[in-house]
Amino acid sequence: MENHIDENEKTSSVFSEAELEYIAPRSHKTGPSLLSRLGNRLRCSGQMAKSLLFKFIPILYWLPRYPFKEWLLGDIISGLSVGIIQLPQGLAYALLAGVPPVFGLYSSFYPVFIYSIFGTSRHISAGTFAVISVMVGSVTESLVPNDTLVVTTNESLSDTGGERVAVAASLTFLVGIFQILLGLVQFGFVVTYLSEPLIRGYTTAAAIHVTVSQIKSIFGVSITQRSHALSLIYTIVEICSKLPQTNIASLITGLIAIGVLFIVKYLNEKYYSKIRIPIPMELITLIVATGISYGVNLNETYGVDIVGTIPVGMKAPVLPRSDLFPKVVGNAFAIAVVVYAFTISLAKMFAAKHGYTVDNNQELIALGLSNFVGGFFSCFTIGTAMSRSLVQESTGGNSQVAGVVSCLVILVIILKAGELFETLPKAILAAVVVVNLKGIFKQFLDIPMLWRTNRIDLLVWLVTFAATILLNLDIGLGVSVAFSIITIIFRTQLPHYSVLGQVSNTDIYRDVARYAQAKEIPGIKIFQSSCTLYFANADLYANAVKSMSGLEVDKLIAMKKKAMKKQKQMEEKNEKLKKKENDQGEGAQGGGGGPHPSFRVDMPLLALHITRNGLPSAARTNYEVIEEAKQGFLGNGNIFHSLILDLSTVNFLDTVSVKILKNIFRDFTEIDVTVYIAGCHAMVLEQLEKANFFSKTITKGQFFSSIKDAVTHILNTQSLTPEQRNEIFASTKL
Amino acid sequence: MENHIDENEKTSSVFSEAELEYIAPRSHKTGPSLLSRLGNRLRCSGQMAKSLLFKFIPILYWLPRYPFKEWLLGDIISGLSVGIIQLPQGLAYALLAGVPPVFGLYSSFYPVFIYSIFGTSRHISAGTFAVISVMVGSVTESLVPNDTLVVTTNESLSDTGGERVAVAASLTFLVGIFQILLGLVQFGFVVTYLSEPLIRGYTTAAAIHVTVSQIKSIFGVSITQRSHALSLIYTIVEICSKLPQTNIASLITGLIAIGVLFIVKYLNEKYYSKIRIPIPMELITLIVATGISYGVNLNETYGVDIVGTIPVGMKAPVLPRSDLFPKVVGNAFAIAVVVYAFTISLAKMFAAKHGYTVDNNQELIALGLSNFVGGFFSCFTIGTAMSRSLVQESTGGNSQVAGVVSCLVILVIILKAGELFETLPKAILAAVVVVNLKGIFKQFLDIPMLWRTNRIDLLVWLVTFAATILLNLDIGLGVSVAFSIITIIFRTQLPHYSVLGQVSNTDIYRDVARYAQAKEIPGIKIFQSSCTLYFANADLYANAVKSMSGLEVDKLIAMKKKAMKKQKQMEEKNEKLKKKENDQGEGAQGGGGGPHPSFRVDMPLLALHITRNGLPSAARTNYEVIEEAKQGFLGNGNIFHSLILDLSTVNFLDTVSVKILKNIFRDFTEIDVTVYIAGCHAMVLEQLEKANFFSKTITKGQFFSSIKDAVTHILNTQSLTPEQRNEIFASTKL
């Protein structure tokens, strides 16, 4: 019976064998026998080739393991839903990219298919994406500027339209190359420079660019296309000046479409839990609008701009034009990174939600291959649209199969139904674009949120937004990345410096200025900086240590130096006098005393045990001079003898900071304050060693792993009397 | 008698009253009576005005207190020595700046005099400086390009020479304005961006620029002047191509001068301790060479280029030409910062050596006023030459009086002796320039030193050097500063991650991979990053935590999610079955059992106290599933229950890193590992609070001030049995 249950358990286990292998391929570690290890090694090379293949062509791995019964239905429904959205988005975003609408359909087919084969994310919907499309558009429009895109016959495609398509395809090809290269050299990490506030600020600005570029379609006016700095401002000004020329029919069409789409989008969201599969309102709008447009003949009667000829059937692949490469290479790199940044963040989000992992570098390669292949088929660059991915996931999509299904939908349109949409007004497509930006515009809410939580990140957001609005999407991105790197300097340039005190009867040390319970230990100053120490704040650190120590360190040192000089001069004088006296004595044997009694005192350089008033000043030791001056500065009875620098916040040390630390040791040693280091991390200690920090005067004995240890050490050695310390001082210093 | 000694002490004290006041003006703090405080307040406004005056015009403070008897002689000797060096350097550096030599003399007079009044450093020698002169030269030569500087008559000065002088003066004026402004807004800190390796790499490259620009004078060939990127390379190529046209007389003159100057410089350094005042070999060379040149008529006989007319007497001040301002404003800012960087580093070095302080912002103002005034008197920009400052200090200079004396020397030359140097060959001046660069060229030794001590600083050095060589002094500086800021990313982007273990019987925790004594505490992982956590390394951090935890965290979560799903499905099935059974039972009362025994077990979602083999798998709790999987991954008997993140190296948190920390808490909580934070600094804790980090699942109770405290807490709560923990788990989770 037990056996039976065991058996039973095995088959009805929550994990199938394959799944377990998928989930824990590294769990074989636990002690295999020598023989089996030998066998393993033999099988190893074959397995490695297989796992490499699985790594680079994930479909080979997941398709044979695809749980048809459980996943297929969901994937088909999801694929159909996504395909239905891809259609209007593809047409609309093609306008953003500055190419005829049909290329949006191509872009929704070839690259998406390739992604399904190579991608590792099971829920993102690869395809056209507004932000990327508008980035592509800024390139095509700057290289092929005149606005003659109203393609009415198949031939005129070879004019501006054709040229733009070539630019877009070359750009896309290069984007693919960059992504594949970045993936192969495992440089997926470049995306980390695009921090979240940066990306959100950037997309918000991109959405504004997109909206402005669509306003002209909605108002039915034609606008000079620009892609220089401040072009957005010029365009807005031009649109305003051309408002009187508005095509009322176009405007009404657009506004109605926007209204309907917004309402349905809202209803879709509100009743999502009930209907599960959203109403494909975009498709319905397209069909209805095309029908009305055809029936009323909107184009000829009211001058409403329509989509125009959509060639039926596939096109043969064309080599991307290499003469365009040098002109688009910079933008290609920027776009490659942005595409990846969006995709990976979405992919990770879904992976976390559904409990699987995505392979960063494989994602790069998959996107790269998609765009690379797309480049041959006159596609523009694709990415991953958040809204569409959410539809794919929420309608029950389980795997990349949904993507394949959505491709097939597009394929059918390309092959059969494309021409049906020829009378579709462009204003409808503009409406589709604008409504789809709703989610991005919500990101303006980041501003109050970041204001409350992190103002420097807010600054990054705002600077990115402003730079992208004013300098356009390419240069704006560069400026934003540079700025977000500089914020590291902002955040660490002006650290918070604090003097720590012991929280009574604990080993905890806290800022005395903030915690009333924290009390300074008499004679010991514990100093902490909130940030690492490097060239930009090293000087500040040194000044803060000196000023927070409560001593005018530099002046004390000056005093000491002066005192030593005077003392030396006096000694010399004394020597001379003595010599003279001796000479006189030799001559006159015990003649009159020297010119002044003080000069007759025979004194060693550091006469110990001499009270202040008992002897003239020259006899006072340096030690006393300093201690006295310190008393004057501190104004209390405690002698400040030890300084502890808590270096736990230090991440690394450059030559400047090592020098500053050396100077602190030198200066405080000069005024008889011993410096100790606490909490120095192993890496930093190594850097100090390399930088020849340690010497006769700075030893590792002054380094402690914690403040507590340093304090304990100091208190132990400070149990000596002042005289004993004086002795130590005399024997070691000068 | 006692009284007498006291009296005596007072007068023969090591510090005079005035000195004490100077040294410790802030030591009045100690308890004055109410009355005296009132009096103080009344006197306060007057005193404040006085101290402000003293601050902005330091000479008013120090001159009345000047110890004539002790310092005057030293200052005069030092001033004479410096003046004698200023003369040849002024003439020579004028050539670097691209203006006729006499303007070098002006630049060694007016600004130096102004500096003596406003400067706070007592030992630096303000005046012409090779690096700054060549920066000025690159501006004058780019704005007034054609090389017709061989000024032989007074009139031709108004041509290129005059134009260049106007450019240099306008530039200098703007430099002055920038420095004054920076000083007034207390922006002296901008100089901290010029880290030491940057400055040293920069000056080394500048020295190469200077040398190349002087080679033409030594070889006596004329070279097209360039100031674009890579101009240095082009110039070297042109010099090489023109070598056949070398003027042998000029070359011999130059080489002899270099030889003599080098030898005397060497002797001066070697026998410095004996002779104290260095041999003024530059002056001697100048005089001898002028004599020979005049006697042999080098210019006409051998075609050796000579200095030419030096107008005698002063020139009336001229307003700087404001039409040139827009053209030089960028360079003016760069030069303003570089001048200040050099000056303040030298000033601080001497101040530290002699035990006084310099006022950063006052130095900026002093330099600014010097250049501002210089701009009216056709001077080019001045800075501080290290070599001359060392002479000033070593020949006994004690104060700014030495500077005044050196001015007077130059004044005499300007008024009386200038014309004597008219036949001086330019090759001699070139030799003076080159020999004075010796110290800077020694900086090439930084390369092996930095290779040993700090390679990233070496990179900064090399990049600065290369950028400055290739892109010239202005753009090169910008690129270098940008690069040195980016190194902060390099240094923190790839932190060293370590798992810490306890060093036996201590509170010290160290990297287990490095320290054999450090042992991990069973069940607890302590994780530390060597660097702060921010957008560029946040992802890496999360991955490192997960991989170093020894668990396939993501896969465990996936397993858990799957298990939960399966469990839910089974439950639903069971529910149905039961319902059916009940229905059947109601119908047939105790009919045949369900289709499979496993589905008949009535089980709660989290059945406790169920052993693994005792019941079918669906009855296993999530907790068990995870613990079991964890066993598989860890391969040892210990259950990993606690993760401690040591955040002591964290300096600040941005939104990205807060999110990553949140994710770590979420993920590890998911697999039943409790996360604790240790060593989080107060500032960081504040940022976490602001960022809404804390919630029901992440509480401040998980934050401990040290690793030790966290470990103690964990061990105390972990004394519970697995069942108890299971209970806690069941009661709090799901």
Q: What is the C-alpha to C-alpha distance for residues B460 and B481, in angstroms, rounded to an integer?
A: 9
Are the CB atoms for A135 and A473 separated by under 8 Å?
yes
Least confident stretch, A611-625, B89-103, B410-424, B506-520: A611-625
pLDDT at A365 over 90: yes
Place of tokens 């006084």: B356
Instruction: Say whether the ipTM exceeds 0.85.
Output: no
- Which two three-digit tokens encode residue B60? 């008013």
Separation of alpha carbons A586 and A658, rounded Å: 58
DSSP 3-state percent helix, strand, coil across chain B (nearest 5):
65, 5, 30
Reduced to 3 states (helix: H, G, I; strand: E, B; else coil), residue B646 is: strand
- Min distance A271 CA to chain B CA atoms (Å): 24
pLDDT at B720: 59
Q: Per residue in B546-590, pLDDT tens? A: 888 877 777 777 777 777 777 888 888 888 888 777 766 555 444
- For residue A608, pLDDT beyond 50: no
Nearest Cβ partner of A648 from B555, B559, B648?
B648
Q: What is the mean pLDDT of residues A357-370?
A: 90
* pLDDT of B733 above 70: no
Best mean pLDDT range from A334-343, A446-455, B364-373 = B364-373
Angstrom distance (rounded) from CA A536 to CA A531: 11
Give A643's strand partners.
A525, A675
pLDDT at A607: 34
pLDDT of the residue at A176: 95
Are A533 and A493 in contact by the 8 Å Cβ rule? The answer is no
- Selecting from A456, A536, A555 the residue whose C-beta is nearest the C-beta of B654 gives A456
B275 alpha carbon, distance to own chain's centre: 38
For chain B, what percent of residues have pLDDT higher than 90? 15
pLDDT of residue B557: 79
**According to the model, what pLDDT value does residue B634 have?**
56
State the nearest Cα–Cα gap between B248 and chain A, in angstroms: 46
Residues of A in contact with B530 (CB under 8 A): 651-652, 681-684
The residue ranking higher by pLDDT, B153 or B631, is B631
**Range of weakest confidence among A392-396, A579-583, B2-6, B55-59:** B2-6
Q: Is the Cβ–Cβ distance between A122 and A355 less than 8 Å? A: no
User: Which positions in chain B touch A562 (Cβ < 8 Å)?
Assistant: 14-15, 19, 355
Segment among A310-314, A617-621, B255-259 with least mean pLDDT = A617-621
Give the model confidence (pLDDT) of B648-669 as tens digits: 889 888 888 898 899 899 888 8
Which residue in A has a C-alpha nearest to residue B693's C-alpha?
A453
pLDDT range class, residue A30, cuts 50, 70, 90: very low
Tokens (6 digits) for A99: 């190419």
Minimal CA separation from A313 to chain B, in Å: 43
Separation in Å, CA A184 to CA A325, A373, B234, B351: 21, 17, 39, 55
Task: Point out the residue among B482, B489, B496 whose CB comes nearest to the CB of A488.
Answer: B489
For A390, residues 6+ apart whose C-beta sits below 8 A from its C-beta are none
Q: Are B194 and B337 in contact (CB under 8 A)?
A: yes
What is the average per-residue pLDDT within A602-609? 35
pLDDT, position A106: 92
How far apart are the C-alpha atoms of B663 and B668, rounded to whole Å?
8
CB contact under 8 A, A559 and B456: no
What pLDDT is recorded for position B465? 94
State how far residue A324 is from chain B, nearest Cα, in angstroms.
Answer: 27
Output the pLDDT for position A630.
Answer: 63
- Please list every residue in chain A whose beta carbon sits closer than 8 Å to the beta carbon of residue B625: 14
Say whether B485 and A489 touch across the interface (CB within 8 A): yes
Residue B438 CB neighbour total at 10 angstroms:
15
For chain B, give the mean pLDDT: 79
Instruction: Supply the pLDDT for residue A551.
Output: 77
Residues 6+ apart with CB under 8 A from B153: B309
CA distances, B352 to each of B93, B120, B357 (Å): 29, 13, 7
| Mean pLDDT in residue range A378-392 | 88
- Tell me which residue has tokens 């080599």: A319
Contact, B121 vs B358, CB < 8 A? Answer: yes
Q: Which of A62-66, A245-249, A260-264, A548-552 has the lowest mean pLDDT?
A: A548-552
Instruction: From A55, A152, A87, select the one nearest A429 (Cα to Cα).
Output: A87
Of B557, B616, B658, the CB nearest to A5: B616
For residue A335, the distance in angstroms to the closest alpha carbon of chain B comes to 20
Residues of A within 8 A of B352 (CB-CB) are 663
pLDDT at A656 over 90: no
Measure CB to CB from residue B453 to each of A192, A489, A692 and give the nearest one: A692
B158 Cα to chain A: minimum distance (Å): 42
**Alpha-carbon gap, residue B48 to B308, rounded angstroms:** 53
Lowest mean pLDDT among A366-370, A506-510, B404-408, B468-472: A506-510
Confidence of residue B608 (pLDDT cuts 50, 70, 90): very low
> What's the gap in Å between the CA of A542 and the closest CA on chain B?
13
From the list B225, B82, B214, the residue with the least C-alpha distance to B148 is B225
Is B196 in Cβ contact with A535 (below 8 Å)?
yes
Contact A9 B616 (CB under 8 A): yes
Phi first, then psi, for residue A157 (nearest 5°) are -55, -30
Q: Is A154 exposed, middle or buried (0-12, 13-18, 19+ CB in 10 A)?
A: exposed
| Beta-carbon contacts below 8 Å between A and B | 291
d(CA B106, CA B642) in angstroms, rounded, equals 74
Cβ of B184: how many Cβ atoms within 10 Å? Answer: 13
Between A613 and A725, the higher pLDDT residue? A725
B/e letters for A690-706, b = 16+ CB within 10 Å, e = fewer, are ebebeeeebeeebbbbb
**Taking Cα atoms as reference points, which of A625, A646, A678, A395 lies closest to residue A533?**
A646
Please state, rounded to an integer, the average pLDDT across all residues of chain A: 79
pLDDT for A475-528, tens place per residue? Answer: 888 889 889 888 888 888 888 898 998 888 788 888 888 888 888 888 888 999
By CA distance, what is A685's nearest residue in B?
B530
pLDDT band of B5, cuts 50, 70, 90: very low
Task: Provide the pLDDT confidence category of residue B627 given band limits of 50, 70 and 90.
Answer: low
**Chain segment A705-722, per-residue pLDDT in tens:** 888 888 888 888 866 555
Q: Which of B651, B656, B686, B704 is the best substitution to test chain A (most A C-beta atoms within 10 A)? A: B651
d(CA A483, CA A488) in angstroms, rounded, equals 9
Nearest to A26 among B6, B495, B552 (CB): B552
Euclidean distance between CA atoms A523 and A535, whole angstroms: 30
In chain B, the percentage of residues whose pLDDT exceeds 70 is 81
- How many Cβ atoms sit within 10 Å of the Cβ of residue B385? 29
Q: Residue B114 has what pLDDT?
A: 93
The predicted structure's pLDDT at residue A42: 58
Mean pLDDT, residues B678-687 taken together: 88
Angstroms from A71 CA to nearest CA on chain B: 14
Say if residue A461's pLDDT is above 70.
yes
Residue A190 has pLDDT above 80, yes or no: no
Q: Distance (Å, rounded) from C-alpha A393 to C-alpha B237?
A: 65
- Interval B79-83 mean pLDDT: 89
Which residue of chain B comes nearest to A708, CA vs CA?
B507
Identify the closest residue of chain A to B532 by CA–CA distance: A651
Q: What's the length of chain A?
A: 734
- Whether the CB-CB separation of B685 and A514 falls below 8 Å is answered with no
- Contact between B170 and B328 (Cβ < 8 Å): yes
Tokens representing residue A677 in the block: 């280091």
For position A629, what pLDDT does the model report? 64
**Averaged pLDDT, B143-156:** 52
Residue B652: its chain A contacts at CB < 8 A? 491-492, 530-531
pLDDT at A628: 64
d(CA B363, CA B383): 11
Residues A217-221 have a mean pLDDT of: 82
Between A315 and A609, name the one with better pLDDT: A315
Do the Cβ atoms of B23 and A555 come within 8 Å? Answer: yes
| Closest residue, chain A, to B681 (C-alpha) | A530
Regarding beta strands B524-529 and B642-646, do their DSSP bridges make them parallel or antiparallel, or are they unpaired? parallel
pTM exceeding 0.80: no
Q: Binning pLDDT at 50, 70 and 90, where does residue B306 land?
A: confident
Calpha distance B299→A722 (Å, rounded): 76
**Greater model confidence, A158 or A703:** A703
Determine the residue of chain B that is closest to A356 in CA distance. Answer: B558
Q: What is the pLDDT of residues A252-266, one digit of tens each?
A: 888 888 898 888 888
Q: Do B357 and A13 touch (CB under 8 A)?
A: no
pLDDT tens-digit map of A103-143: 999 999 999 999 999 999 999 999 999 889 988 988 888 88
Cβ neighbours of A652 in B, within 8 Å: 491-492, 530-531
Strands of A44-158, DSSP E: 126-127
Distance CA B374, CA B385 (A): 17
Work out the number of other CB atoms within 10 angstroms of the CB of residue A425.
29
Could you report how far apart the first and last alpha carbons of chain A are, in Å?
A: 90
What is the per-residue DSSP string for B101-131?
THHHHHHTTHHHHHHHHH---SS--EE--HH
Question: Which residues in chain A have their CB less than 8 angstroms from residue B5's CB?
Answer: 613, 615-616
Look at residue A112 in the predicted model and tell me its pLDDT.
93
Distance from the Cα of A337 to chain B's closest Cα (Å) equals 15
Contact indicator for B122, B399 with CB cutoff of 8 Å: yes
Residues of chain A with pLDDT > 70, as a percent, come to 81
- CA-closest candidate to residue A367, choices A347, A335, A340, A406: A340
Q: Which residue of B has its CA nearest to A358?
A: B554
Helices B68-96, B386-394: axis angle to 10 degrees equals: 160
Q: Which of A76, A166, A130, A96 is nearest to A407 (CA)?
A: A76
Which of B21, B638, B654, B667 should one mutate to test binding to chain A, selecting the residue with the greatest count of A CBs within 10 A? Answer: B654
pLDDT digits (tens, 9 = 90+) for B441-485: 888 998 999 998 888 899 999 999 999 999 888 888 888 988 988
Are A706 and B706 in contact (CB < 8 Å)? yes
Q: Do B26 and A552 touch (CB under 8 A)?
A: yes
A530:B29 CB<8 A:
no
Which of A419-423, A451-455, A460-464 is modeled with the greatest confidence? A460-464
Looking at beta carbons, which residues of chain A come within 8 Å of B11? none
Q: Is residue B551 within 8 Å of residue B633, measured between CB atoms?
A: yes
User: What would the two tokens of residue B593 be?
Assistant: 């059992």
B307: closest CA of chain A, how far (Å): 43
Confidence at residue B621, expressed as pLDDT on a 0 to 100 scale: 56
Phi–psi pair at A124, nearest 5 degrees: -80, 150
Query: Are the beta carbons of A282 and A85 closer than 8 angstroms?
Result: yes
Do residue B654 and residue A705 have CB atoms under 8 angstroms apart?
no
Coil/strand/helix, residue B620: coil
Neighbours of B406 (CB within 10 A): 32
Q: Which among A71, A120, A122, A192 is the top mutation candidate for probing chain B, defined by the most B β-carbons within 10 Å of its own β-carbon? A: A192
Residue B109 has pLDDT above 90, yes or no: yes
Using the predicted structure, report yes or no on whether residue B237 has a pLDDT greater than 60: yes
Contact B617 A12 (CB under 8 A): yes
Q: What is the pLDDT of residue A107?
A: 93
- The C-alpha atoms of residue A669 and residue A699 are separated, in whole angstroms, by 13
Inter-chain CB proximity B452 and A19 less than 8 Å:
no
A164-174 burial string, b = 16+ CB within 10 Å, else e? bbbbbbbbbbb
